[in-house]
Amino acid sequence: MKTALEKKLTEIELVATTADLWSKAKRSYLGITIHWVNSETLERELAALACRRMKGKHTHDVLAQAINSVFLEYHIQNKICCTTTDNGSNFVKAFR
Protein backbone atom coordinates (compact mmCIF):
# COMPACT_ATOMS: atom_id res chain seq x y z
CA MET A 1 0.00 0.00 0.00
CA LYS A 2 1.34 3.42 -0.96
CA THR A 3 1.83 6.16 1.61
CA ALA A 4 0.41 9.64 1.08
CA LEU A 5 3.88 10.86 0.09
CA GLU A 6 4.34 8.08 -2.45
CA LYS A 7 0.96 8.94 -4.02
CA LYS A 8 1.87 12.61 -4.17
CA LEU A 9 5.26 11.89 -5.75
CA THR A 10 3.62 10.00 -8.62
CA GLU A 11 1.95 13.28 -9.66
CA ILE A 12 5.09 15.43 -9.48
CA GLU A 13 7.23 15.76 -12.61
CA LEU A 14 10.44 17.28 -11.26
CA VAL A 15 12.11 17.22 -7.83
CA ALA A 16 15.34 18.20 -6.14
CA THR A 17 16.91 16.24 -3.32
CA THR A 18 19.48 16.71 -0.57
CA ALA A 19 21.67 14.07 1.01
CA ASP A 20 23.87 14.22 4.08
CA LEU A 21 25.86 11.74 6.09
CA TRP A 22 26.71 12.27 9.74
CA SER A 23 27.93 10.37 12.78
CA LYS A 24 26.78 10.43 16.38
CA ALA A 25 27.98 8.16 19.19
CA LYS A 26 29.98 5.97 16.77
CA ARG A 27 26.92 5.44 14.54
CA SER A 28 26.48 6.88 11.07
CA TYR A 29 23.28 7.98 9.36
CA LEU A 30 22.25 8.96 5.84
CA GLY A 31 19.52 11.56 5.54
CA ILE A 32 17.71 12.36 2.29
CA THR A 33 15.10 15.05 1.72
CA ILE A 34 13.02 15.88 -1.35
CA HIS A 35 11.81 19.28 -2.55
CA TRP A 36 9.35 20.33 -5.26
CA VAL A 37 7.06 23.17 -6.32
CA ASN A 38 3.33 22.62 -5.89
CA SER A 39 1.83 23.10 -9.36
CA GLU A 40 -1.41 24.56 -7.98
CA THR A 41 -0.13 26.98 -5.33
CA LEU A 42 3.42 27.46 -6.70
CA GLU A 43 4.68 27.04 -3.14
CA ARG A 44 7.77 25.02 -2.26
CA GLU A 45 7.07 21.73 -0.54
CA LEU A 46 9.41 19.22 1.03
CA ALA A 47 9.53 15.91 2.82
CA ALA A 48 12.06 13.67 4.50
CA LEU A 49 12.59 10.53 2.44
CA ALA A 50 15.06 8.64 4.58
CA CYS A 51 17.12 8.62 7.72
CA ARG A 52 18.98 5.34 7.54
CA ARG A 53 21.76 3.84 9.57
CA MET A 54 24.94 3.33 7.57
CA LYS A 55 27.23 0.55 8.76
CA GLY A 56 30.78 0.00 7.63
CA LYS A 57 32.92 2.28 5.50
CA HIS A 58 31.32 5.28 3.81
CA THR A 59 32.95 4.73 0.45
CA HIS A 60 31.54 6.35 -2.68
CA ASP A 61 30.13 3.06 -4.00
CA VAL A 62 28.35 2.22 -0.73
CA LEU A 63 26.99 5.75 -0.53
CA ALA A 64 25.85 5.76 -4.18
CA GLN A 65 24.06 2.44 -3.72
CA ALA A 66 22.28 3.63 -0.55
CA ILE A 67 21.12 6.87 -2.19
CA ASN A 68 20.00 5.08 -5.35
CA SER A 69 18.10 2.57 -3.23
CA VAL A 70 16.04 5.38 -1.68
CA PHE A 71 15.42 6.96 -5.10
CA LEU A 72 14.22 3.61 -6.47
CA GLU A 73 12.05 2.95 -3.42
CA TYR A 74 10.12 6.17 -4.08
CA HIS A 75 10.24 5.81 -7.90
CA ILE A 76 11.85 9.23 -8.36
CA GLN A 77 15.06 8.20 -10.15
CA ASN A 78 13.87 9.84 -13.41
CA LYS A 79 12.42 12.95 -11.77
CA ILE A 80 15.50 14.36 -10.04
CA CYS A 81 16.92 17.56 -11.51
CA CYS A 82 19.67 17.91 -8.89
CA THR A 83 20.90 16.64 -5.55
CA THR A 84 22.64 18.93 -3.08
CA THR A 85 25.33 17.48 -0.81
CA ASP A 86 28.43 18.70 0.93
CA ASN A 87 31.71 18.50 -0.96
CA GLY A 88 33.01 15.40 0.82
CA SER A 89 35.08 13.28 -1.53
CA ASN A 90 32.78 10.28 -1.06
CA PHE A 91 29.74 12.34 -2.19
CA VAL A 92 31.64 13.92 -5.10
CA LYS A 93 32.75 10.54 -6.36
CA ALA A 94 29.34 8.92 -5.74
CA PHE A 95 27.67 11.39 -8.10
CA ARG A 96 30.22 11.17 -10.94
pLDDT tens-place string over residues 82-92: 999 998 888 98
Q: Are 73 and 65 in contact (CB under 8 A)?
A: no
If one counts the domains in the chain, the total is 1
Confidence band of 44 (pLDDT split at 50, 70, 90): very high
Task: Please give the Cα distance from 53 to 29 (Å, whole number).
Answer: 4
> Does pLDDT of 23 surpass 80?
yes
Cβ count near 35 (within 10 Å): 15
Distance CA 19, CA 83 (A): 7
The whole-number average pLDDT for the span 24-42 is 94
User: Is the pLDDT score of 1 beyond 80?
Assistant: no
Tell me if the pTM is above 0.85.
yes
Q: Is residue 12 within 8 Å of 36, Cβ to Cβ? A: yes
Range of the domain at 68: 4-94
Instruction: Work out the burial of residue 33: count CB atoms within 10 Å of its CB; fewer than 13 is exposed, 13-18 middle, 19 or more buried.
Output: middle
pLDDT for 20: 94
